[in-house]
Amino acid sequence: MDEFEDHQSGLASPAEAAQAITPSDSLALPRVTRAIYVGGTGNLRVMMRSGDVASFAGVQAGMVYPLRVAQVMATGTTATGLVGLR
């Protein structure tokens, strides 16, 4: 039973779905994320929903970063165990 099924979810709501992320310089994610879970410490280079490309140095393992990401680039990404949350 889901007591909250009639509630509209927003960006501040808990994630409802997840997708494993394989970084790629050519392929966008199937769906834009609302956050990214990082399993292994490293760097993260992404294309944001807006189309801007951003690099995040030293993202930490076990953290969830509230990023609306359309693509995770292979070049410049060394963080591992990435999961897109939406």
pLDDT in tens, 31-76: 999 999 999 999 999 999 999 999 999 999 999 999 999 999 999 9
Euclidean distance between CA atoms 56 and 1, whole angstroms: 39
pLDDT over threshold 90, residue 30: yes
Euclidean distance between CA atoms 77 and 7, whole angstroms: 36
Q: Are 73 and 46 in contact (CB under 8 A)?
A: yes
In the block, residue with structure tokens 């956050």:
35
Q: Which two tokens stand for residue 2?
A: 């889901």
- pLDDT value, residue 2: 79
